[in-house]
Amino acid sequence: MAKRIIKTYDQEFKSQAVKLAQEIGGHKAATELGLPDSTIYTWVKAFKEGRLDAKDA
């Protein structure tokens, strides 16, 4: 059975992804970054709730 690989992203990457999502939209940002839409939307929600620091966002 294949092992599932769990990717982790640093704070800087998440911040840039949130900023990009705010500029061009979540779906387009996810596509450009090769991430699932749900990951981007989770990070954007965390930013709005103050749980994620998005620099200059």
Distances (CA, A) of 23 to 4, 8, 16, 47: 32, 23, 11, 14
Q: What is the structure's pLDDT at 7?
A: 85
pLDDT tens-digit profile of 1-57?
A: 678 888 899 999 999 999 999 999 999 999 999 999 999 999 999 999 998 776 645
Q: What is the pLDDT of residue 42?
A: 96
Contacts of 53 (CB under 8 A, 6+ apart): 11, 15, 47
Determine the pLDDT at residue 54: 63
